[in-house]
Amino acid sequence: MPTHPSTSPIAIIGAGPAGLMAAEVLSQAGYSVAIHDAMPSVGRKFLLAGVGGMNITHSEPTPAFVQRYYEQADWVGAWLQDFDAEALRAWVRGLGLDTFIGSSGRVFPIDMKAAPLLRAWVARLREQGVQIHTRHRWQGWDEQGRLLIDSAQGELRLSPPATLLALGGASWPRLGSDGAWQPWLAQRGVPVAALRPANCGFEVSGWSDMLKSKFAGSPLKNIAMGLPGQAMHSGEAILTEHGLEGSLIYALSASLRQAIERQGQAPLLIDLLPQQPLAKVRAALEKPRGSRSMAKHLHSQLRLDGAKAALLRELLDKSAFDQPERLAQAIKALPCPLLRTRPLDEAISSAGGVCRQGLSDGLMLHALPGVFCAGEMLDWEAPTGGYLLTACFASGRQAAQGMLDYLANAG
């Protein structure tokens, strides 16, 4: 292994997947690397993401996979050219663990847990000489451009040959991703888009007391959702006290949030019976119900009951239940206006961050030569399903390669 002596090690601020991956690449290239993280231990959000099953990536074909990054698909796609889902699975195997593809196409470590992967990774980094400092909180720069870090030993002022910021967004402040870095970068001329909730719940104008008391927390299974004029997406959601959340809502959160930003609300449509064509629903509703209640009629003809039936009654006026055509239309496309996202600190991830135009292809800040950024603090987003983690890993490698190029030229 080549060695590159320096007065001080390369500084990586943040010990999530992006920071740790960059440290691995740099240390393997022979550089001295020090990681500084504000938390008492590394990978706190990574470990929490693994609760209930560590979804590390997705087996979706590459063209579809890349499109999961919305407007930034070409940007993130460039990172994935060097480190895609298959490369990530091979990397996990290199840590002595295997992965498998679940029925949904999502990829998991064989034991479904994040902790064994993180332990093996950190052990390998330490073997490569990476220094890991916890309870080291970055506080920006001093007047001489040195990194300011608060530690148990007092304030540190560092002048590393290169710095990587991998500080996350602002969706998990208790785990370290609090977005405190935003003003420090903006003050130095770095373009930063406001951080906003992604993969989050949404609020309606207000559910009735009946719906909240009886059905808050209930799943809506085998449904489809979408915005007018867009494709409907199938999956599951959850009724909450404030509105809706769950995997299907998370998958649509970018377009829902953007609709709210444009027009003040997102006119969500819900298909309560996506397996049933409209004509079949209409025919079932036109059958005589005799003395049976509408609730029993819906159950006997369409198996529509529980949370689905309650939501239908919540969002549709009473007169529609006496009009089979109108009722059928509502069952297949129930309007549910969403007014706002839930707070950022409840979101799984955040959108916004350091803007693409402020960065080189190697993820170095134009305004701060020698300072690089990676991970969720960059301005991209993706749905859950392994896409978030894959891009974080890939961005760490992209930034590390940019740092190697920068250091080679600087030397």
CA distance 162 to 6: 11
Rounded to a whole number of angstroms, the CA Rg of the chain reads 25
pTM for the model:
0.91
Residue 303 Ramachandran class (φ > 0 left, ψ -120 to 50 alpha, else beta): left
> CA 97 → CA 85, 118, 276, distances in Å?
15, 11, 43
**With pLDDT > 70 as the criterion, what percentage of the chain qualifies?**
98
Residue ranges and CATH numbers for the domains of the chain are 10-197+352-410 (3.50.50.60), 202-341 (no CATH)
Pairing between strand 10-13 and 33-36?
parallel
- pLDDT of 87-102, one tens digit each? 999 999 999 999 999 9
Residue 378, SS3?
A: strand
- DSSP letter for 177, please: B
Mean of the per-residue pLDDT values of the chain: 94
178-237: pLDDT as tens digits = 999 999 999 999 999 999 999 999 999 999 999 999 999 999 999 999 999 999 999 999
Cα–Cα distances in angstroms (integers) from residue 291 to residues 294, 296, 317, 323, in the given order: 9, 10, 21, 17
| Digit-coded pLDDT (tens) for 17-60 | 999 999 999 999 999 999 999 999 999 989 887 777 899 999 99
1 confidence band (pLDDT: 50, 70, 90): very low
9: Cβ contacts below 8 Å, ≥ 6 apart: 31, 32, 33, 34, 131, 160
Q: What whole-number distance in Å separates Cα of residue 400 and Cα of residue 404?
A: 6
Rounded distance between C-alpha atoms, residue 138 and residue 13, angstroms: 7
Q: 344-399: per-residue pLDDT in tens?
A: 999 999 999 999 999 999 999 999 999 999 999 999 999 999 999 999 999 999 99
Is residue 103 helix, strand or coil? coil
